[in-house]
Structures are given as C-alpha cells and as structure tokens.
Amino acid sequence: MVVIAGAGIAHPTSQSQDELWSGFFSHHYSGVQRALANRLFRNSGVQRRHGAINPMIEDVSGWSTAKRMQRYLTEAIPLGKSAVTDALDAAGLAASEIGLFAVCSCTGYVTPGLDILLARDLGMSPDTQRLFIGHMGCYAALPGLGVVTDFVQARGRPAVLLCLELTSLHVQPPSADTDQIVAHSLFSDAAAAVVVLPGGPGYEVLDVGSVTDAATADHMTWDVTDLGFRMGLSQRVPDVLDQHVASLVDGLLDRHGLARDDVDGWAVHPGGPRILDVVRDRLGLTDPAMAPSRQVLAEHGNCSSPTVLMILDSLRRATPRHVLAMAFGPGLTLYGTLLRATP
C-alpha cells in the first residue's frame, strides 16, 4: 500500500483579476482585441490568482527567454522550498529520509536543475535519487505521482513529488491571437508538493490511467520562442475531452469494482469553465461535486501542473472515501488517478 501522507502548497503574491485587467491587460490590448480580452477575462471563472511577476510593476512581455529563465531560478527556489518543507512536516519526515525527489515544471529550465538545488538546500541525502519531468504541462502531476508511487512500492522508501510553475514569466507581446488572450486570462503561479510513503494514514494511490488522442496533438502546444514560452490552445479541446473522459474514468473504476457513484471526491483540473462543464455533463456529476475545482479556479486561477494537487489538498479536509483526480494537457492527453482513504 502506497499512500499520500502529506502535502504542502505555496503561492507568490495574490493578485485580483479585476486589478490585473484594469492595471495592465486593458492597456496591453487595443481595439477589437481589447473587447475580446475584456470578455474572456470576465468569463474566466477567476477572481484572484498569483504571480511571482506582477505585470503592473514589471512588463515582461518584451523580455528575452534567457532573462525569463534567470528570473525563474530566482523565484522558483524559495517557492519550491516552502512547499516541500510543509509537505515533509505534514508527513512527519526529515528531508534526509527521502529516497526519490521528483520535480515537474514546464515554465522554466535551469541546470543544475531545481531537483538538485532544492535537494541540496533542503538537506536531502547524497544518495537521494532525483527526476526532473519537463514540458508535460497541466497534467504532469498525475504521471509524476505514478512514477513516485512505483518507486515507493518497489523500494519501500519515501518519495516527494513537487510541481512548480511560474506562468507569469511568459506574458506575450500583444497580438490578435485568441489563444494568448485565453492564457493571459487564466494562468497563475504555484508550487505543490506531496510526500508518498509505503503505508500509513493518508490516501492510497490505487491506480493511474491515461489516454492520448494523437490525432489532436496540435490542439494544445507550448512552444519555446525568443520571447518566452508561447501557448497554443484550440477551442476544440473541450470537444476532445468530451469524447474520452468517460471511458478513462470508467476504466479506472471498473478495475477496482467501483462505479461513478462510489466516488465522493472529484479533483478535476480546471483548464477553464467550459472544460469543467464538459466533464460534469459527460460524467453526470452534480455542481457540488465540481465545486472544489471551481473554487480553486476562482481563488487561484489555473496554476498548470500544481493545480490538481491543490484540489486534492482541499478535498482531504472533507475526508472523502474515494477520490478521482483528472488532468489534461498536450498530446492531447487525459490522465486519471484513483485514490482511497486509508483507515
């Protein structure tokens, strides 16, 4: 039995969506683009979000990728350290006891990587194994959780998974590209860490499943450019999720003799309000079942890979018996993870 025994969440400064619009983005766009951006910001489902960079103070849209990566390192180290420290404290473990430290991030790259620098600063053992998972996007937490679960099961040693994203570093120059406006209206910064142990109280990781629709690989992209990382986001993404989400969920549940009604905690990555609506309708879920995902979107925005772990952390306080976590990203890929509360 492998369980999630502790979690830690860290955010940079909170920013009001209305203030971000009036203080920066309303001037960032002009003409027809401004009217479209105003509508997308108002309908995003986001009320507040977080940014290591405040665009009202620093306009990074003209920064080179090199300058953004330098700032990534400066901001990521303390944020990641805070999340991992809180997760270790919650699990009652010392950093020196960790056998594997896995880090997921798609918003910045440095070498030596965050896995090395944070392991050093946190006091992990020299024989702690490390893994950096890059450019998987919003769903990275769930395959990352699968990897650390397999390690704990095989080795009998504790592991830590950290997901850290600084999307505020990748504000793009103004353009008529709707994809960029949508990204600017939704994305936020966060770090989320979980400690996984070979047994004990917490949430047992029962199963991880995925499906990739390679025919729609161009629907979601994240390209490295000279001016940071640029998102491509097709309006057809919810339609693809609509085709695959039911079979993914039912397949996970069937393998464990469960049905949708047996799940009393749903952690659905809030890629946007329409994505949450599609998942709700396709799975026949209630609005209360979707409330934790909508609340995280409203209070924190779409934080990419940490987001589903943030929803799981909020769900734990309600002590559901069975939890199903879902996240979506480039590929186009859907991931699901089934969890069960241990006695």
Which amino acids are annotated catalytic?
Answer: 138
- Residues across the chain: 343
- Cα gap 103→82, rounded to integer Å: 14
Peptide bond into 288 cis (omega under 30): no
Count of CB atoms situated within 10 Å of the CB of 3:
23
Nearest to 113 by CA among 95, 133, 137, 127: 133
User: Could you say which DSSP state residue 173 is in?
Assistant: P
Query: What is the C-alpha radius of gyration for the chain, rounded to an integer number of angstroms?
Result: 19
Taking a C-beta distance cutoff of 8 angstroms, is the pair 149, 205 a contact?
yes
Dihedral-angle region of residue 243 (phi above 0 means left; psi in -120 to 50 means alpha; beta otherwise): alpha
Q: In sequence order, which residues have a C-beta less than 8 Å from that of residue 93 and are 6 or more positions away?
A: 5, 6, 158, 195, 197
